[in-house]
Amino acid sequence: MKAYEECLQTMFALHRFGIKLGLDCIRNILTGLGDPQNHYRCIHVAGTNGKGSVAATLATLLTEAGFKTGLYTSPHLMKFNERIRVDSRMVSDADVVAAFEAVRAVPCGERQPTFFEFATAMAFHLFARHGVDWAVVETGMGGRLDATNILQPEVCVITNISLEHRAYLGRTIAAIAREKAGIVKPGAPVVTGVSQAAAREAVAAAAAACATPWYLLGRDFRVRRRGNGRFDFHGREQRWNDLAVGLPGSHQVGNASLALAAAETLVPRGLPLTESQVRRALTRVKWPGRLQQIGNRPAVIIDGAHNLAAARNLARHLAATYPASRVTLVLGMLDDKPYQGMLAALLPTAGRVVICAPVIDRAIPAAKLGAVAAALHPAVSVIPEVAAAVTQTLGRAGPDEVICIAGSLYVAGEAMTALKRMGMAVEG
């Protein structure tokens, strides 16, 4: 579809404007579109890790409850449309073209919108056009000045806080937490899994300023882990035992509990929340590129693992599941991430390591990352292009081996595209 490709080229060119935090531009665009974000009810999700999983779980819970539900996340892995979903399905190419034309036609103020601002306006417009009842929206970066923070949500979720995007959000946990807690609004309860005292203080202060309650994992709601993705949830009102999480990884139990606690706050606001709906939703959630297994002999696992906390989660999963001798890691990372710590966490889980680099200006050159990896692991090779690294590694692997592709969501996306071209069934 030529019009679709031309739209994407124009949008991706907006990356040259970089990251510009602030709400004036997005507010102008949405005003010109008739404020589509006011046509449905919203849930807003921020945090460092797990926000996509929580958002996807909440969207699935709402769909299971019978609501038409929009989901806005970023980044995409293989196709832009992944960012904007209605009832778990990507919007169509024609939808993207129509939304692009609608956004381009309205004034945006004193400057050009960034890529993320443009995409956010498209998502909000399409949710109104599709007549969704609810939209679950993940922040892009931070919260207070994020383009998504134009919303007036019914509930806010802040998953956790760690040091990230320090050039934009601040150098300390407290500063970053204050930025992420900027999504808190009057009348919208806050559900959070933050663990550091400074982060808890920031969330508490934001909630107090908005005169809204906040609920903390481990204090106001709890989980008891049973192992193998099963857990008991003890909420403020509900207790559900022996729930099963469909998303792989032990960390997904915490993400599921945040989603359930947020859903609990919506029951007085008209959300029917039955045990059968909860059980179905938790097992039906899809979140590609996060511990996603593609193929079996050899097993290919794709996990973005794009920061230190995510890398440690992946390392724990690999170490608990496979002997290192069977695992080959295919890794590429970005230069704004703590790549030395990420390598230190991941490399002990593998017998062999292949280093590559995604096609993005922030990627660490494969030779540079390979040199750092070689100082930590005895079996490191460098294949600069992601597609070549994936295809060559897969071609050499035995049926009982495990290939884990990680280090960046951009690496995950390029790898998934390469595997799809090889004829493998890849769900994006």
Which residue from 308, 336, 46 is spatially nearest to 177, judged by alpha carbons?
46
Share of the chain above pLDDT 70, in %: 97
Report pLDDT digits (tens) over 219-255.
999 999 998 889 999 999 999 999 999 999 888 999 9
CB-CB contact of 137 with 44 (8 Å): yes
Q: From residue 214, how far is each of 27, 48, 159, 176, 272 by CA, in Å? A: 27, 18, 13, 18, 21
What is the per-residue pLDDT for 59? 98
CB within 8 A of 358, min separation 6: which ones? 332, 334, 386, 408, 410, 411, 413, 414
Q: How long a stretch of residues is the chain?
A: 428
What is the per-residue pLDDT for 165? 57
Range with lowest mean pLDDT among 114-128, 191-205, 282-296: 282-296
Q: What is the mean pLDDT of residues 80-107?
A: 96
What is the per-residue pLDDT for 13? 87
CATH 3.40.50.880 fits 2-284, yes or no: no
In angstroms, the CA 93 to CA 181 distance is: 34
Check residue 140 and give left, alpha or beta (phi > 0: left; psi -120 to 50: alpha). alpha
337 by Cβ neighbours in 10 Å (0-12 / 13-18 / 19+) ranks as buried
What is the per-residue pLDDT for 109? 73
CB-CB contact of 329 with 354 (8 Å): yes
Q: Report the 10 Å Cβ neighbour count for 372.
A: 17
pTM of the predicted protein model: 0.93
Report pLDDT digits (tens) over 259-309.
999 999 999 998 999 999 999 999 999 999 989 998 888 999 999 898 898
- pLDDT top residue among 87 and 15: 87
Hey, where are the domains in the chain? Answer: 2-284, 292-417
**In the CATH scheme, what is the code of domain 292-417?**
3.90.190.20
In degrees to the nearest 10, what's the CA dihedral of 97, 98, 101, 104?
A: -100
Share of the chain above pLDDT 90, in %: 81
Q: Which amino acid is at 394?
A: L
**Both tokens assigned to 51:** 């926000």
In angstroms, the CA 407 to CA 387 distance is: 15
Taking the CA atoms of the chain, what radius of gyration do you get in angstroms?
A: 21
Strands (DSSP E) contained in 271-351 are 292-296, 299-303, 327-331
Task: Give the mean pLDDT of the chain.
Answer: 93
Q: Report the 10 Å Cβ neighbour count for 300.
A: 25
Report pLDDT digits (tens) over 130-174.
999 999 999 998 888 899 999 999 999 999 987 765 555 667 888
Which string of b and e fits 25-64 if b means at least 16 CB within 10 Å?
A: bbebbbebbeebbebbbbbbbbbbbbbbbbbbbbbbbbbb
Report pLDDT digits (tens) over 325-374.
999 999 999 998 899 999 999 999 999 999 999 998 889 999 999 999 99
